[in-house]
Amino acid sequence: MNSVIVRALLVRGMLAGLAAGLLAFGLAYLIGESGVNAGIAYEDAHTHEHGMELVSRAAQSTVGLATGVLVFGTAVGGIAALAFCFSLGRIGQFGARGTAALLAAGAFVTVYLVPFLKYPANPPGSTDPDTIGKRTTLYFGMIALAVLIALGAVILGRRLAGRFGNWNATVAAVVAFIAVIAVALAFLPAVNETPKDFPATVLWQFRLAALGIQALLWASFGVIFGFLAERVLRPHAARSAQVAAAPGMPTAA
C-alpha cells in the first residue's frame, strides 16, 4: 500500500472519527448528562467545600463535552485508519468494510470494554478525588495490557491457522484471549471507593450510558470508515487488475 493511499485513508479515518464523535456527543448529551448532574448534586450535598467554578456547568455539558468527544473521535479515527492499513489482507480475506468492522469491534473490546469491566466509569461524587492519579494509571495500564493480549491472540490465531484451519484457530485465539484477560481482571488491584449511600440507580445508569456512548462511537466509525475506505481502494484495485491483465490482452492485427 503506497503512501498516497495511506494518507487518503488516514484523512478519511479522521473524518469518520469526527462523524462518529458527533453521533456519540448527541447520545452523551441525551442520556449521559443526567447521571453527571445527579452525581454533582450528591457531591454538593455531602461536602462543605465549594470552589469557584471557572467554567459554567452549561458550557461543560455543551461546548466542553462536544470538544472532548470530537477530539477523541478524530484522534482514534486516525489511529484506527493506520491500523486498518496494516491489517487489510493480514487478518483474513475480508474487504475494506469487513476489515473496518472487525477493527472497530476489536478496538471497542480491547480499548474500552475490557478496561470497563475492571475499572468502570463513575459519575462525580462516587470516587475520592485524591486517588485520581492512581485510578488513571490503573485504567491506562489495563488498556495497554488488553491491547498486548489482543495482539498476542492475533499472532496465535495466525500461527494456528495453517495447521488447524481459520475457524478453529480463531476460536482458540478468542478462548486464549478471554482466559488471559480473566486472569488479569482477577489479579489487578480493584478500586472500591463508591460511598454506601450513593444512589445505585445513578451509578448504574451512568455506567450504562458510558458503555452505550462508546459502543455507538466505534460501531458508527466502523460503518462510516468502511464505506469511505472502500471508495478509496476500489479505483486502486481496478487499476491494479488492469495492469495485471495488460500483458495478456490481445493486440490488433
Q: pLDDT (tens digit, 9 = 90+) per residue, 217-248?
A: 999 999 999 999 999 888 655 555 454 445 55
| pLDDT tens sequence across 92-105 | 677 889 889 999 99
Asked if residue 105 and residue 29 are part of one domain, the reply reads yes
- Number of independent structural domains in the chain: 2
Q: Are residues 25 and 3 in the same domain?
A: yes
pLDDT at position 142 is 93
One domain, residues 111 and 164? no
Specify whether 232 is located in the same domain as 144: no
51 lies in some domain: no
Nearest CA-CA partner of 156 in 137, 124, 179: 179
Burial of 171 (0-12, 13-18, 19+ CB in 10 A): middle
Taking residue 181's Cβ as centre, other Cβ atoms within 10 Å add up to 21
pLDDT for res 60 = 66
Closest CA relative to residue 116, chosen from 14, 206, 32 = 206
Please give the average per-residue pLDDT across 133-143, as a whole number: 90
How far apart, in whole angstroms, are the C-alpha atoms of residue 123 and residue 47? 16
Q: Which amino acid is at 138?
A: L
Print the domain residue range for 81. Answer: 1-42+59-126+196-245
223 and 184 within one domain: no
Q: What is the pTM of this model?
A: 0.81
65-87 vs 96-107: helix crossing angle, rounded to 10: 130
Same domain, 182 and 96: no
Q: Considering the domain boundaries, does residue 49 fall inside one?
A: no
Q: Are 118 and 142 in contact (CB under 8 A)?
A: yes
Cell representation of residue 167: 475457524
d(CA 161, CA 154): 11
**Whether residues 31 and 122 fall in one domain:** yes
68 and 164 share one domain:
no
**How confident is residue 253, by pLDDT bands cut at 50, 70 and 90?**
very low
Q: Over 70: is that where the pLDDT of 171 sits?
A: yes
Examine the domain organization and report whether 226 and 237 are in the same domain.
Answer: yes
**Same domain membership, residue 36 and residue 140:** no
Asked whether residue 65 is domain-assigned, the answer is yes
